[in-house]
Amino acid sequence: MTRARLAALWAGFLIAHAIAIALGWLWPNQPMGDTYLVYEPWSRAAIMGADVMGVTAAWVYPPLALAPMVLAQALVWFSSYSLAWAVMVAVLDCVAFAVLVGRGRSTSRVIAGGFWALFIAVLGPIGIFRLDAVTVPITVVGLLLALRHPRVAGLLVGAATWMKVWPAALVAALVVALRGRWQVIAGGAIVSVIIAGVVVLAGGATHLLGFITTQGDRGLQIEAVAATPFLFGAGGAQIYYDREILTYQVTGSGVELVAQLLSPLMAIVVAGICAIGVWRVRAGSAVRAVLPPLALALVVALIVCNKVGSPQFQTWLVAPLVLWLVWDRASANGPAFLALVAAGLTHLVYPVFYHHVLASDTVVVTVLGMRNALVVALGVWAVVSLWRTPIHEGNPRARRLLRRPVGNERI
């Protein structure tokens, strides 16, 4: 790849960030709201010696989530906390993007980089002004380093999990698919011991795992996949604002039961997907064939079987899809396209027409339903791809399987 084309790729990546950041100030419904209404007060309180969320007070996030919030406070030369946050996210993304595309010698990596840039622009400000945006570049680098440096991958993805829980899906995928799974576990254990040790020494032992318990009793958020039929009137459901969780949820006949069933359903689905992954690995499928669809399937499972359906959850799709495009872009093109369409529909739902969702406007609710259906379809695609991963004949386990007699013949 020529320097001019590489420069154009980088320019596209930076322009995508500029568009997403600028739209944060232009679109309605406070797409930057979490940064200045939530992250800024939390980080300021920690700096000034008041409550340290996750240490001296119960919190909905794992304790390491406070680190990027405080870091954004340290960027004092920017005019606002929201701008400082956006620049911090852009810098982290650029570091991961440099690891991804390198000098532009790999066509697959360049295409994966182009996909990431387009995804940022299509998803819009919600992909920048939320905590999830910090975890995306960390997990991208972690997955890219997984084959050669599984312990580093475990460290990075483990650290991201201590910011937001969703990267735990990637940890599971790495443990299932990689031969160096114990290195992954060791890396995750190291970062976990360090973080837990710091929190405990700071007096926060009682709040260390509070992010798990604080989420247990929440209701069904309106953007959640399982909330879709209720938005169309099932059970006489209505939308209300939960002032404790600070989000819009649905209430009505059957809503509570669905919300209660989602957590065990998630556990069952995740276990089933991992079982398929173990089966394909034991059958002799190559790591490069198993890991990307396995990671994507697990991430989608966390989205679909979730009581929460926040629009920023779409950013979780980036890391497994980038890896899939790098390792096997022919198989990844379809899922990547579905993810881009889902990101575009998400952008329309929030922040552009979110007020119409709250008013139960049929057209916008249908757009939300289409987005949810696409995410489900993406998960099905990933599971089918995982199920169909080819057996690599050069794999010793595969050779043993192929030599097994069936009746009077060999396979």
Backbone dihedral region for residue 53 (phi beyond 0: left; psi -120 to 50: alpha; all else: beta): beta
Q: Which of the four pLDDT bands, split at 50, 70 and 90, describes residue 329?
A: very high
pLDDT at 195: 97
Average pLDDT, integer, range 184-199: 97
- Compute how many other C-beta atoms are within 10 angstroms of the C-beta atom of residue 228: 22
Q: Where are the extended beta strands (E) located within 104-229?
A: 220-221
pLDDT per residue as tens digits for the range 279-311: 999 999 999 999 999 999 999 999 999 999 999
**Per-residue pLDDT at 397 exceeds 70:** no
Look at 219 and 276; give whichever has higher pLDDT. Answer: 276
Distance CA 212, CA 183 (A): 26
| Secondary-structure breakdown of the chain: helix, strand, coil percentages, each rounded to the nearest 5 | 70, 5, 25
| Average pLDDT for the chain | 93
Indicate the pTM of the whole model: 0.94
How large is the C-alpha radius of gyration of the chain?
22
pLDDT at 216: 63
Contact 178, 291 (CB under 8 A): yes
Triad 58, 158, 169: Cα angle to 5°: 90
Instruction: Provide φ and ψ at 395, rounded to 5°.
Output: -75, 130
Contact 48, 114 (CB under 8 A): no
pLDDT per residue as tens digits for the range 13-35: 999 999 999 999 999 999 999 99
Q: Given the structure tokens 């980080």, which residue do they identify?
A: 43
pLDDT per residue as tens digits for the range 62-118: 999 999 999 999 987 888 999 999 999 999 999 999 999 999 999 999 999 999 999
Say which DSSP state 285 is in. B
3-state SS of 362-399? HHHHHHHHHHHHHHHHHHHHHHHHHHCCCECCCCHHHH
pLDDT at 406: 35
What residues make up the domain containing 362? 3-391
Identify whether 405 is part of a domain. Answer: no
Triad 19, 131, 74: Cα angle to 5°: 85
pLDDT at 404: 44
Identify whether 409 is part of a domain. Answer: no
Distance CA 270, CA 283 (A): 20
**Per-residue pLDDT at 182 exceeds 80:** yes
Average pLDDT, integer, range 36-62: 93
Distance CA 152, CA 140 (A): 12
3-class secondary structure, 181: helix
pLDDT per residue as tens digits for the range 307-323: 999 999 999 999 999 99
Identify whether 401 is part of a domain. Answer: no
Q: Is the dihedral of CA 38, 343, 307, 234 positive or negative?
A: positive
Nearest to 143 by CA among 6, 317, 272: 317
DSSP 66-132: HHHHHHHHH-TTSSSHHHHHHHHHHHHHHHHHHHHHTTS--HHHHHHHHHHHHHHHHH-GGGTSSTH
Contact partners, residue 289, CB within 8 Å, separation at least 6: 280, 328, 389, 390, 392
Identify whether 407 is part of a domain. Answer: no
Identify whether 410 is part of a domain. Answer: no
The token pair that represents 391 in the structure block: 């057996």
Average pLDDT, integer, range 208-214: 83
Q: Is 20 exposed, middle or buried (0-12, 13-18, 19+ CB in 10 A)?
A: buried
**Per-residue pLDDT at 409 exceeds 60:** no
Distance CA 24, CA 85 (A): 12
The token pair that represents 109 in the structure block: 């990596």
Give how many domains the chain has, as a whole number.
1
**Per-residue pLDDT at 191 exceeds 90:** yes
Average pLDDT, integer, range 146-150: 97
pLDDT at 398: 47
Q: Is the dihedral of CA 15, 18, 24, 27 positive or negative?
A: negative
pLDDT per residue as tens digits for the range 335-372: 999 999 999 999 999 999 999 999 999 999 999 999 99
pLDDT per residue as tens digits for the range 5-14: 899 999 999 9
Cα torsion through 123, 126, 129, 132, rounded to 10:
-90
Identify whether 352 is part of a domain. Answer: yes
**Per-residue pLDDT at 399 exceeds 60:** no
pLDDT at 210: 87
3-class secondary structure, 305: coil
Q: Which of the four pLDDT bands, split at 50, 70 and 90, describes residue 408?
A: very low
